[in-house]
Structure 1
Amino acid sequence: MVRDRGARARAALARNHPEFAATRDGEPIGYVCLGNPAAQEWAFETLDRLITEYNCDWIKLDYNLDPGAGCNRTDHGHGAGDGLFEHISAYYRLLERVRAKHPHVILESCSSGGLRIDLGLMKHTHTTFLSDPDWPEHDLQLFWGATTMLAPNVCLHWGYCDWLGEHRYQKFDPRDPSLTRERLDCYTRISMLGGFGFSQKLPDLPAWVAERFAHHIRVYRETVAPFVREADVYRLTDQPKRFARGERWAAFQYAKPDGREHLLFVFRLHGRSRKLRTIHLTALDPAARYAVSSLDNGKLMTRTGAELMEDGIVFELNEEESDLVWIRKEENGA
Structure 2
Amino acid sequence: DRTDHPHAPPDPSNLTVRKAASSYWVESSNSTDVGYYATQAYYSIHSNLRARHPGLLLEICNDGGRMVDFGSAAHGDYFSITDTYDPLSNRRAFYDASHVLPAAMLETYVEKWPTPRIENFLYMLRSGMMGWLTIMLDTTAWTPEQRKAAKMAFAVYKTNLRPLIRDADLYHVSDRPDGIHWDGLEYFDAKKGRGVLYAFRGSTQTESIHTFVLKGFEAGRSYQLHFQDHSAPDQKVSGRDLLSRGVAVELSWPLSSELIFFEEVN
Structure 1 residue 273 displacement after superposition: 5.9
Seen in structure 2, the aligned counterparts of structure 1 residues 113 and 90 have a Cα distance that, compared at 3 Å, is same
The equivalences for 1:158-173 within 5 A come to 158-161=109-112, 172-173=113-114
Displaced runs of 4+ in structure 1, greater than 4 A? 24-27, 71-74
- In the alignment, structure 2 segments of 5+ residues that lack a partner are 9-15, 20-24
CA deviations 1:234-259 (Å, max 9, x no partner) are: 000011147x5xxx211111011505
- Cα pair 1:230 1:257 within 8 Å, conserved: no
Q: Is the counterpart of residue 268 in structure 1 residue 201 in structure 2?
A: yes
Quick one: distance in 2 between partners of 1:146 and 1:237? 15
Letter in structure 2 aligned against 1:289:
S
Q: Is the counterpart of residue 207 in structure 1 residue 158 in structure 2?
A: no
The equivalences for 1:32-47 within 5 A come to none
The equivalences for 1:293-308 within 5 A come to 293-297=226-230, 299-308=233-242
Structure 1 residue 141 displacement after superposition: 1.1
Q: Is the counterpart of residue 254 in structure 1 residue 187 in structure 2?
A: yes
Structure 1 residue 260 displacement after superposition: 0.6
Q: Is the counterpart of residue 137 in structure 1 residue 88 in structure 2?
A: yes
Letter in structure 2 aligned against 1:153:
A
Aligned match of 2:51:
100
Letter in structure 2 aligned against 1:203:
T
Structure 1 residue 274 displacement after superposition: 1.9
Letter in structure 2 aligned against 1:130:
I
Give 1:190's match in structure 2, choosing from 127, 139, 153: 127
Letter in structure 1 aligned against 2:248:
V
What TM-score do you get using the length of structure 1 for normalisation? 0.68
Structure 1 residue 294 displacement after superposition: 0.7
Quick one: distance in 2 between partners of 1:72 and 1:319? 55
Letter in structure 1 aligned against 2:222:
R
- Cα pair 1:72 1:79 within 8 Å, conserved: no
Seen in structure 2, the aligned counterparts of structure 1 residues 306 and 131 have a Cα distance that, compared at 3 Å, is same
CA deviations 1:158-198 (Å, max 9, x no partner) are: 2324xxxxxxxxxx245xxxx21111111111111011221
Structure 1 residue 272 displacement after superposition: 6.9
Structure 1 residue 112 displacement after superposition: 3.1
Seen in structure 2, the aligned counterparts of structure 1 residues 283 and 259 have a Cα distance that, compared at 3 Å, is farther
Aligned match of 2:22:
none
Structure 1 residue 282 displacement after superposition: 0.6
Quick one: distance in 1 between partners of 2:206 and 2:100? 28
Give 2:262's match in structure 1, choosing from 320, 327, 334: 327
Q: SS in structure 2 opposite 1:225?
A: helix
- Cα pair 2:110 2:133 within 8 Å, conserved: no
- Cα pair 1:231 1:254 within 8 Å, conserved: yes
What TM-score do you get using the length of structure 2 for normalisation? 0.85
Letter in structure 1 aligned against 2:50:
R
Quick one: distance in 2 between partners of 1:299 and 1:112? 44
Letter in structure 1 aligned against 2:187:
Y
- Cα pair 2:205 2:254 within 8 Å, conserved: no
Task: Give the length in aligned residue pairs.
Answer: 249
CA deviations 1:267-293 (Å, max 9, x no partner) are: 012147622111111110000010011
Seen in structure 2, the aligned counterparts of structure 1 residues 136 and 269 have a Cα distance that, compared at 3 Å, is farther
Name the Cα RMSD after superposition: 2.7
Quick one: distance in 2 between partners of 1:80 and 1:192? 43
